[in-house]
Amino acid sequence: MAIFTLALHGGAGTILKEDMTPELEATYLRSLEEALEAGYKILASGGGAAAAVKETSIQLENNILFNAGRGSVFTKKGVHEMDAAIMDGATQRAGAIAAVRNVRNPVALAAEVMYHSDHVLLSGEGANEFAIKCGMKLEPDEYFFSQFRYNQWKRMRDSDNYELDHSTGTTERLMKDKKFGTVGAVACDMQGNIAAATSTGGMTNKKYGRIGDTPIIGAGTYANNKTCAISATGHGEPFMLGVAAYDVSCLMEYKGMSLQEAMDVVVNDRLTKLNGEGGMIGVDANGNCAMIFNSAGMYRAMRNSVGKIETAIYR
């Protein structure tokens, strides 16, 4: 029986302890621990990696603190457009959705695409039609409303600026004060199968139907039993340009690097050369885990079957 492992993230960026109240910090840590526990229970009871990452991501989508599902940010038009993906490393099957609206749990819809369609990526109205066909839980716009996200959007809706998740400063401070709102999970189950899932609400005030790296297989999400399962969080464009998640897999497969080594090269060398800020979590089929980021912080947690548990926010 393989060491089984689960890791998750809730976004990365300029996350500084001095900007966090003790109460909010405790709430974030508790939220990460609760999501970790939900997914880990599946692994501990013999469940598969894909089921574990899906459930972990659903828990994070249901939490208004995170920019995914219920906590998603507002677009230029004042609505919520969500992206998600899931990939099974054992079968090399994947499902992804982009720019969907009113779907309570986008990662669950991505799983439906993987299991019950002949496609990998569905977008917009078509993805919503598929959600209705599958009987997915839909919610009114009010479900996704949070005053915090609304105030953030209202501050910039009359401009052409956008923000990466919940920057607390003015637009001029954006390059200093960035937070990338994505949630995700990776897992290795008792059978040594691995999987990854990622979900996001994207950028505040985004327009033109912008889609980031989250639903792009190989960029923000990837899993292959031969190498690794990766879920990324960061400024999506550099992650797409660098095919970041798949790049980790390639370094492991073709250069013989360990998970930790490959992720370190991608996050701290290749992405930085593309001005890519953020991070990623990963596991391999031996249950090894790494959580690496080049930003000031990343909401993250992991647990494995040999007793290692970690929950953290800052560098």
Q: Could you give the residue numbers annotated as active site?
A: 182
**Pair type for strands 179-180 and 121-123:** unpaired
String of DSSP letters for 28-81: HHHHHHHHHHHHHHHHHTT--HHHHHHHHHHHHHT-TTSSSGGGPPP-TTS---
Reference 213, options 195, 186, 188, 234; nearest CA is 234
The rounded distance, in Å, linking the Cα atoms of 130 and 123 is 10
Instruction: Return the residue matching tokens 């990365």.
Output: 12
168 three-state secondary structure: coil
Which residues partner with 312 through β-bridges?
Answer: 300
String of DSSP letters for 251-276: HHHHH---HHHHHHHIIIIIHHHTT-
Residues 256 and 285 sit within 8 Å (Cβ to Cβ): no
The rounded distance, in Å, linking the Cα atoms of 112 and 131 is 8
Residues 91 and 99 sit within 8 Å (Cβ to Cβ): no
